[in-house]
Each structure stands twice: as structure tokens, then as C-alpha cells.
Amino acid sequence: MIERIATPSKTKEIIEQNAFYFKKNYGQNFLIDANVLQNMISAADISDQDFVLEIGPGIGSLTQFLAENAKNVVAVEIDDHLIPILKETVGGYDNLTIIHSDVLKLDLGKLIAEKNHGNPIKVAANLPYYITTPILMELLEKEYPITSITVMVQREVADRMQAAPGSKDYGALSVAVQFYSTPHPDFIVPPACFMPRPKVDSAVITLHIGQNHRPEVTDRAFFFRIVKSAFAQRRKTLVNTLSATAGLSCTKEELLSVLETLHLSPTVRGETLSVEQFASLANALYPYR
């Protein structure tokens, strides 16, 4: 076993020896608490059978735990300065491949096909907070062979992902995440567990893929257009926000009659609709696209 990277003293030493400076624009907050990392491994249910994709290994804090618990790990890091550091800190693990790239520019389908013969993988990451949503949507929408995604995100984002209809946190992100997966809240992580400390609490959340009943939608892009429109003007009724923002070719009266066929009140607000109700609504409105 290589010396633990995720301690305040070791992290400081690596940073200083390499004259590394934290880049805010890459969302660099490194974990310095080994308990949090062990809990992430448990939450992700990593075993020696698993192939894991890590996004943003930093100096290798989580990478080390993944390499020690999984069969294979591929870690994708954007920052040029971290690549030689990673070679030094975790280069000794022969089940680890480090890829120097922006994860959003990488062909993940090809990567999974080449490195794991197209078999299902798990994703584990302390995500860079500035691109949490684009990364998650890329992982979910493309329907890669992924069984679960265990990620550290801002607490407020984790709350939105798992929010129930009618709650203040429920929005387009909740519907998208819950359309593709079943989110499971794992635990909260305070700022003191990171170097440098972020301003807000973080949370680890696992998205289980392929376990949820996904509602039938006629056209997925149209379904998400309706969802986006329904939340575009939260204070307005669903009929008013859809009329103003969905670009549909129907009158308010026609919209009201669609709501009636779906047993929805004429004054209903979008934020109270479940994922299934959004699917039924989008399917009923499809002729007016």
C-alpha cells in the first residue's frame, strides 16, 4: 500500500513539492479526509470485480482508494500540471490508467468499448462543481453502459437531483436525473474535509441506472422541451408557462383540454407534476410540437 494521499499533511507536501497552485476555474478542491473516501467506496459499492471511471483525479486522493478496491480504474484529468503529479502519487498502481483530457471532449463510448470490452462500468468522482450538470447529463443522456454514478457535488445540487414533485428544489434537473436513474442520497461532507475549503457543504449521491421504471415518451427531445418550459416561469400556471415558452402550435383552450384528458387541474403548476405525468403531458402535446 502506498502512503495515504488524503491527509492534510501529505496533500500539503505534494502541493508544495510540486509548486502546484489551485485553479479555481477547474473547480479544484481536494479531499483530505480518508474517512470520506472510504465512505465513498462503500457508497459506490466498489469491489474487485468493478471497472471504474473517475472524473478529475486531482492529486489522486480518491484514485488511490479506487485502485486499491476496484479491478480497473481509468481516471480522466484536464489539468496539465496534475499529470506528472499523478504519475508520482498513484503511478505505481498497475490497474490504473490516467488519461489527460477534458472529460466532455472524450468519446466515453469508445473508451468503455476499448478498456472494458463494452461491459458495464461504475463512475465515481469528486466532481468539479462548475460543470457538474453537463458532466452528469453527458453520462445519463448518452446511455453508456454505466450501472451507477457516485459523485460528490454541492449539497444544494444533490438536493435538487433527488427532490420530489411539489418541493422547492424540484425542477428540470430533478426530472432529468429521475427520468434516467434512481438517486440515492449517501452523506453530507462539510467544507473542512477539503483543501482549499469550498464555501458550501457538499454531498455524495449515487444514481442507480437501469433500476427505475422509465416512462414511455414519444420523443425524448420534445419531452425535455416541455419539462424545461414547465419550469421556465415557476410562478405561473402550467398552461401559462407552456403558452409563453414551449413554442406549441395550439391555443390555451386546446392546452386546457389536454390537461383535462390527463385529469390535471386547469390551474396546476408544473412543479407539482411527477416524471410520469410530464411524460403523459409531452406525449399528449406531441401533435402540437
Which of residues 27, 171, 183, 270 is near ligand SAM by CB under 6 A? Answer: 27
| Selection from 46, 50, 66 nearest residue 58 by Cα | 66
Assigned C-alpha cell, 124 = 465515481
Determine if 96 is a binding residue for ligand SAM (CB under 6 A): no
Determine if 132 is a binding residue for ligand SAM (CB under 6 A): no
Q: 87 vs 234, which CB is nearer to ligand SAM?
A: 87
Determine if 271 is a binding residue for ligand SAM (CB under 6 A): no
**Residue nearest to ligand SAM as judged by C-beta position:** 56
Q: What is the DSSP string of 244-272?
A: HHS--SS-HHHHHHHHHHTT--TT--GGG
Residue type, 232: A
Assigned C-alpha cell, 251 = 391555443
- Residue keyed to cell 425542477: 171
Give the x/- contact pattern for ligand SAM in 42-71, rule: CB under 6 A.
Answer: -------------xxxx--xx---------
Q: 166 vs 196, which CB is nearer to ligand SAM?
A: 196
**Residue 261: CB minimum distance to ligand SAM, A:** 44
Give the x/- contact pattern for ligand SAM in 71-90, rule: CB under 6 A.
Answer: -----xxxx--x--------
Q: 62 vs 146, which CB is nearer to ligand SAM?
A: 62
Assigned C-alpha cell, 286 = 406531441
Q: Are residues 6 and 37 in contact, defined by beta-carbon separation less than 8 angstroms?
A: yes
Which of residues 66, 93, 116, 128 is near ligand SAM by CB under 6 A? Answer: 128
Task: Tell me the C-alpha distance between 20 and 33, whole Å.
Answer: 20
Determine if 280 is a binding residue for ligand SAM (CB under 6 A): no
Angle at 61 between CA 47 and CA 36, to 5 degrees: 70
Residue type, 264: L
Burial 67-83 (b: 16+ CB within 10 A, else e): bbbbebbbbbbbbeebe
**Residue 28: CB minimum distance to ligand SAM, A:** 5
Which of residues 64, 72, 126, 178 is near ligand SAM by CB under 6 A? Answer: 126
Could you tell me how many residues make up the chain?
A: 289
Which of residues 26, 187, 286, 288 is near ligand SAM by CB under 6 A? Answer: 26
Contacts with ligand SAM by CB under 6 A lie at 26-31, 55-58, 61-62, 76-79, 82, 102-104, 126, 128, 131
